[in-house]
């Protein structure tokens, strides 16, 4: 799932299989970068100013850059949240990702990477399906990349 021929991004969630059709939504007064996780700001606008998943407000992943910092009424393109699309995302951590991370449900570190030490026990998360610690992956991001999909963890009562 990695190595030669793979383009490694410095930041962001990048789909590695066919994502759902792009949608458009009015952007909050943010500078949104392709690959940022987007949430509803509570007023029906997309924001990337969230650093943990919120099940109720998670919209999906920015499919293109959008600089609406001047509050120009711009719309951002995004891939809506779904449970099928796999994404490659850089790991933000103190150590390289290892095989033990496969199957973990983790939270974001920023709006464009994940924190493998922050396990999610309920609600929206990023579920790690595979890892990429190839030489090229580590050269692009010291801690490697996770490959996975968005999921919802339901707490059992």
Domain ranges of the chain: 19-80, 87-153
Residue 3 predicted with pLDDT over 60: no
Residue 147 exposed, middle or buried by CB count within 10 Å (0-12, 13-18, 19+) = middle
Question: By 3-state DSSP, what share of the chain in percent is helix, strand and coil, each rounded to 5?
Answer: 5, 40, 55
Token pair listed for 98: 């290892």
Residue 157 predicted with pLDDT over 70: no
- Averaged over 41-59, what is the pLDDT? 89
Q: pTM here? A: 0.91
Residue 55 predicted with pLDDT over 60: yes
Given a contact cutoff of 8 angstroms between Cβ atoms, the answer to whether 144 and 101 are in contact is no
pLDDT tens, 80-130? 999 999 999 999 977 899 999 999 999 988 899 999 999 998 989 999 999
**Distance from chain centroid for Cα 111:** 7
Which pLDDT value is given to residue 62?
Answer: 97
pLDDT tens, 134-143? 999 999 999 9
What is the number of alpha carbons within 13 Å of residue 104 lying toward its C-beta? 20
């Amino acid at each position: 799932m990695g190595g030669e021929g793979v383009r490694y991004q410095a930041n962001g969630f990048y789909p590695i299989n066919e994502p759902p059709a792009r949608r458009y939504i009015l952007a909050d007064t943010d500078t949104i970068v392709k690959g940022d996780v987007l949430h509803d700001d509570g007023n029906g606008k997309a924001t990337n100013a969230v650093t943990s998943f919120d099940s109720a407000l998670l919209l999906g992943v920015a499919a293109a850059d959008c600089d609406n910092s001047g509050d120009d009424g711009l719309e951002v393109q995004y891939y809506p949240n779904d449970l099928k699309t796999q994404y490659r995302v850089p790991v933000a951590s103190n150590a390289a990702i290892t095989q033990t991370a496969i199957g973990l449900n983790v939270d974001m570190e920023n709006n464009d990477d994940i924190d493998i030490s922050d396990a999610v026990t309920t609600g929206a998360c990023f579920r790690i399906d595979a890892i990429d610690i190839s030489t090229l992956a580590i050269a692009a991001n010291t801690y490697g990349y996770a490959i996975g999909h968005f999921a919802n963890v339901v707490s059992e009562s």
